[in-house]
Amino acid sequence: MSTVLEDICDGVREDVAARQISDAKLAEQIAAAPRPHDAYAALVPSGISVIAEVKRASPSKGDLATIAHPADLARQYADGGAAIISVLTEQRRFKGSIADFQSVRAAVEIPLLRKDFIVTEYQVRESRAIGADLQLLIVAALSQTQLRDFYQMTRELGMHSLIEIHDEAELERALDISPKIVGVNSRNLKDLSINADAFERLLPLIPQDVIAVAESGISQASEVAHVRDLGARAILVGETLVRAGEPAQAIRRLLGE
């Protein structure tokens, strides 16, 4: 029986094949894309940074919010002090799109994370073509060769990578490629269960010269303070913010402001 992650990745490959353009046209788009922002530098300041997510739905929770205008939400995130804005582009389970990403890119000047299941070289180049500054690479979705190659390709294109892990074995694989940013996702994408102790187990193991990001399940300032004490220098928050009536204020509350 396939896992949730495998099912998602199979769907992603089908969707990529349906929209894929020629290498020449993609190269033209990359050349015309805005110059990359430094997503790593955006996370370096002291304290803890917020990566605020434009997220309509998830496999575990279903529909989260009706986001008619992603650009408007992104502007509110920027006003609230988000360091980076994450935009879902996976269509089937998260109801995101390339169009969502492009509308946000046109609306804000801060770095953007393309949040998707990157399983092909084409998607890596596509991320730069649509103006991404940072993209997600999920260790569990890739072979070690793919992880290393996609990471190197991302760097060559001027972007950074958020390397996502869920357990100690994946952290070891991540550190093997000398990453600059590693995210701990407390949700297991294979069966959608929450590993309640993931942050406690894994965040302290991430070297201090690597930016550690806590992903999933953060909704209160006390939880932000907790992961910061464990070594996180950024949090990635979606559900809490898209369900908040005033996203900018919600970000400030998370930061204890």
User: Which residues are designated catalytic?
Assistant: 53, 55, 115, 164, 185, 215-216
Pairing outcome for strands 57-58 and 62-63: antiparallel
- Which amino acid, one-letter code, is at 115? K
> Strand, helix or coil at 182?
strand
Provide the β-strand partners of residue 160: 134
Read off φ and ψ for residue 41, nearest 5 degrees: -60, -30
E strand or H helix that includes residue 178: none
Could you give the dihedral angle defined by the CA atoms of residues 55, 60, 66 and 68, in that order, rounded to the nearest 10 degrees? Answer: 40
Tokens 């406690």 — which residue? 200
Is the CB of residue 187 less than 8 Å from the CB of residue 160?
Answer: no
> Rounded to an integer, what distance in angstroms lies between the CA atom of residue 175 and that of residue 179?
6
Q: How many CB atoms lie within 10 A of CB 6?
A: 14
> Rounded to an integer, what distance in angstroms lies between the CA atom of residue 111 and that of residue 193?
30
Tokens 């100690």 — which residue? 168
Residues in the chain: 257
Q: For residue 200, which of 167, 245, 243 has the smallest C-alpha distance?
A: 167
